[in-house]
Structure 1
């Protein structure tokens, strides 16, 4: 009984952690960091700050205020090259998949609570698989964003010339790390629920007809 309660509690906390990490990642602006080597230029005696960092919704350049990124949902009617249209479609996919993952985590948490209260093995199995699929969806969104960022840099180099990006260093920030953590936590919650379902099924087989008390 204590082990089953520990599994339920760990899965619930894992789901809450997954939601918190992904929400922080989606709302923050440190997914993609671009650092430009200072060539010694200045404006008004102040060295130019050419580095920037970007999130899913906006980009921040140097010390300036952040500006929204191009809305990929309103760019279908624009006459753009096929490569740019592909980038916009990838960006559109990321902006749909990751917020959708947040909603699915909430729904999965509710299902997990109901399955732990009812101690239903089929519902526990369903909820565990649901969390695993949710983790796969988050993983897909993060992977698409990485691909989108790489292709965007390649397209920029193609348009402006490779010599203009030689002093540019790109990296991924802590926002992406939070998304990875959310994915791992969600998968862990699903695995714990599957283990709980297996444990509960074995206990019910050993003691058939015994009424089950509510753990949580």
Structure 2
């Protein structure tokens, strides 16, 4: 695979990563709470579907004091700067700019991974705290899962790291070939 194809693939990964993360941040299907059908001994009113819920980053984070609310959009900003830097570095075929671009994407991937990890930990801790406040029998019919917004964030992380590695590989290929040869 030549450098032009590698540059194109890296830029495509960057665009995909941005799209995945922007969609993940903007949607409300990070955390899904489903209540199963209740047994005959339960006296709660209403169908169980009324208690089903889903939430995203913005519903859970009133007041914007959670770290993942800062880290994930910051990762999105790094993706934009990384993509611009990647476009410039691939057009100029600059070894140093390609290294910087690869580092941008790897740093963005690390920030995305951090944001996802903190969100998962926070969600687990919040559910555990609620479980300690109330009787556990109230939560026997509750099923909690992470939704497709979380899957998009993981896809973004994967494509960010892939993009960073592709830019670093292209820098290594550019550095190892004689000058003037594409």
Return the TM-score normalized by structure 1: 0.77
Gaps of 5+ in 1: 59-68, 74-88
Deviation at 1:42, TM superposition (A): 4.3
> In the alignment, is residue 170 of structure 1 matched against residue 144 of structure 2?
yes
From 82, 100, 114, the counterpart of 1:108 = 82
Counterpart residue number, 1:49:
50
Ranked by relative contact order (alpha carbons within 8 Å, sequence separation 6 or more), the top structure is: 2
Gaps of 5+ in 2: none
Range with bigger deviation, 157-166 or 100-109:
157-166
RMSD: 1.8
Q: Please give the per-residue CA displacement for 1:195-214, whole angstroms capped at 9, x wherever unaligned.
A: 111111111xx34xx4x78x
Deviation at 1:164, TM superposition (A): 1.5
- Superposition pairs of residues 1-216 of structure 1, within 5 angstroms: 3-39=2-38, 41-43=44-46, 49-58=50-59, 69=60, 71-73=62-64, 92-203=66-177, 206-207=178-179, 210=180
Residues 70 and 12 of structure 1: CA distance in aligned 2, closer, same or farther (over 3 Å): closer
Count of residue pairs brought into register by the alignment: 178
Q: Please give the per-residue CA displacement for 1:105-125, whole angstroms capped at 9, x wherever unaligned.
A: 000000001111111101101
Deviation at 1:161, TM superposition (A): 2.2
Supply the distance in 1 between the matched residues of 2:163 and 2:123 (Cα, whole angstroms).
29
Q: Comparing both structures, which one devotes a greater share of its residues to helix?
A: 2
Contact 2:28 2:56 in 1 (8 A): yes
Supply the distance in 2 between the matched residues of 1:8 and 1:57 (Cα, whole angstroms).
35
Secondary structure of the residue aligned to 2:2 is: helix
